[in-house]
Amino acid sequence: KNSCPEKDIVILGTKDNYCEQFIRPFIAEFNLDYRCIQVIRDPRAVTASRNSGSYLEKSKKKYPLLFVIRNWRKSIAYHFSSAKLSNYMGIKYEEFVKSPEVKSREICDFLDIEYSSNLLDCDIYVDEDGNKWSHNSSFFREEKGINKGSLEKWKEILSHDEIGLIQFLCKREMNYLGYELQNIPFGIRELLNYEEKIDEI
């Protein structure tokens, strides 16, 4: 009710995490006009976001690295299996941040709605309580607009071994999606020797 105060809603959208397994049932099995946009992001950035900044301040504990990696790889698997569905669109977070107008126009075309420059005016958005919307970010809550600084933040946050482990386990998908790997030697020996601090997770 609070999120949709208008009575003449024509298009209703929702956003959620960890729900990719519902893509096919919603847009392929039901006889309704559902459309799904799945946002894909560099797994190193996902890990940095989940295990630092405001998320960590709230939870006080980190997600186990393997948990984040498994969920990312599962998410990408659903992307691959849904890619040919006409009501599905996959978009890389990094491409949107670098070219917000271009990608917003592509999204509008996919949703069959008219593009407006207002879509990129972050000052006009409100949250579910009607207050001014603040960034859904672990790091840039005071920033205005679309912040490109989020793209490289993981390089400052993740350790050498964390980056190596993520790349080792996600290499195939990252290569396919065009994510550039850092030159960090990491193999089976490093994997077997890697240990997380149990008291932190």
Element (H or E) spanning 91, and its range? strand 88-92
Among the ranges given (35-39, 56-60, 151-155, 164-168), the one the predictor scored with the smallest mean pLDDT: 56-60
Q: pLDDT tens digits for 120-152? A: 888 888 777 778 877 655 555 555 667 787 888
Q: pLDDT tens digits for 85-118? A: 889 999 999 999 999 999 999 999 999 999 998 8
Q: Which residues contact 37 (CB under 8 A, 6 or more apart)?
A: 89, 90, 91, 107, 110
- CB-based burial of residue 47 (10 Å sphere; 0-12 exposed, 13-18 middle, 19+ buried)? buried
- The predicted pLDDT at position 1 comes to 44
Q: pLDDT tens digits for 32-55? A: 788 999 999 999 999 998 888 766
